[in-house]
């Protein structure tokens, strides 16, 4: 399995070790009109530290629900998800989350939106005033990585959609989470901007060395960013295909014109259509 690398030019394989996250026969059902409706039949899988994984599958198969279960906002009701061996049963502190809609606070400038998690999440909250210069530097470094160094003082309405999403990714990473949850983060962007965002997200994630967990409907996006792609069946869902993506990192936009890349995308598409 390929892990993000400190040296982005290296393509060494790092052996798999103890998983960071484990899904152990995870299932999900809701009561709809008084009757149980099964959403997820059963999922078991492991995610290694610093692995980037994507989940793709039809609408309603439970992808967003998976992120909610990992975050601990809605712990798995059937089976369990474990973080370093401990069942996730309450909201985790050490996760960063980015959704399709960036939801930046409109009265805060870019820099202060990025700093927000440090103001509200312990242990950073406790030392926020005292360490503000250091935290500001961390935020500025992240903003520089995504090309927003000259937009720190702008308010959200003064940014383009792509810029807002870049700021939101920086905000999701500022407290150095060990898990980054991304729910169709680029779904609202045009195709050209979206492709630029893939490169930026890859850079951010390689720097952060956290687990990346992406939900997307864009199969090329899944292949471009992931070490592993999980294909889900329609509801009641399970994992019907697991694909390892061994393309070297850092990946470039030229790669997705190659036969190798297109074969991987076609393989995922075939499994989705078969389900």
Ligand X SMILES: Nc1ncnc2c1ncn2[C@@H]1O[C@H](COP(=O)(O)OP(=O)(O)OP(=O)(O)O)[C@@H](O)[C@H]1O
- Sites of contact with ligand X (CB under 6 A): 30, 32, 39, 59-65
Residue nearest Mg ion, CB atom distance: 64
Residue (of 100, 78, 95, 99) closest to 87 by Cα position: 78
What residue has token string 């991304």? 182
Nearer to ligand X, 38 or 87 (CB): 38
Nearer to ligand X, 134 or 242 (CB): 242
- H or E segment to which residue 230 belongs: strand 228-232
C-alpha–C-alpha distance, residues 275 and 34, integer Å: 28
C-alpha–C-alpha distance, residues 34 and 87, integer Å: 29
Q: Give min distance, CB of 173 to ligand X, in A.
A: 23
Bridge-based pairing state of the strands 179-183 and 78-83? unpaired
Q: Give min distance, CB of 68 to ligand X, in A.
A: 8
Q: Give min distance, CB of 57 to ligand X, in A.
A: 6
Residue 30 interaction partner, one of Mg ion, ligand X, none, beta carbon < 5-8 Å per kind: ligand X
Q: Per CB under 5 A, does 101 bind Mg ion?
A: no
Nearer to ligand X, 87 or 235 (CB): 235
- Give every strand in the sheet of 78-83, ordered side by side: 86-87, 78-83, 21-32, 35-47, 237-244, 228-232, 52-56, 211-215, 179-183, 95-99
Which residues ranging from 49 to 68 are in contact with Mg ion (CB under 5 A)? Answer: 64
Residue 233 interaction partner, one of ligand X, Mg ion, none, beta carbon < 5-8 Å per kind: none
Q: Give min distance, CB of 244 to ligand X, in A.
A: 23
């Amino acid at each position: 399995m390929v892990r993000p690398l400190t040296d982005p030019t290296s393509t060494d394989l790092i052996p798999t070790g103890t998983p960071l996250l484990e899904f152990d026969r995870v299932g999900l059902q809701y009561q709809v009109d008084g009757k149980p409706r099964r959403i997820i039949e059963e999922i078991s899988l492991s995610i290694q530290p610093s692995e980037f994984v994507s989940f793709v599958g039809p609408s309603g198969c439970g992808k967003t629900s998976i992120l909610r279960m990992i975050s601990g906002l809605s712990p798995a009701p059937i089976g369990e998800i474990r973080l370093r061996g401990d069942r996730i049963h309450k909201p985790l502190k050490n996760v960063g989350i980015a959704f399709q809609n960036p939801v930046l606070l409109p009265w805060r400038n870019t820099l202060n939106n990025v700093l927000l998690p440090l103001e509200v999440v312990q242990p950073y909250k406790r030392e926020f005033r005292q360490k503000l210069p250091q935290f500001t530097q961390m935020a500025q470094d992240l903003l520089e990585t995504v090309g927003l160094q000259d937009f720190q003082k702008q308010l959200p309405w003064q940014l383009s959609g792509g810029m807002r999403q870049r700021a939101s990714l920086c905000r999701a990473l500022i407290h150095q989470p060990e898990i980054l949850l991304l729910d169709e983060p680029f779904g609202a962007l045009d195709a050209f901007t979206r492709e630029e965002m893939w490169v930026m997200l890859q850079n951010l994630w390689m720097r952060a060395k956290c687990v990346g967990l992406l939900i997307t409907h864009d199969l090329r996006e899944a292949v471009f960013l992931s070490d592993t792609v999980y294909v889900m069946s329609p509801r009641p869902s399970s994992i019907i295909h697991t694909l390892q993506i061994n393309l070297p990192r850092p990946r470039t936009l030229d790669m997705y014109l190659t036969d190798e890349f297109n074969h991987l995308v076609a393989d995922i598409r075939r499994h989705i259509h078969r389900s």
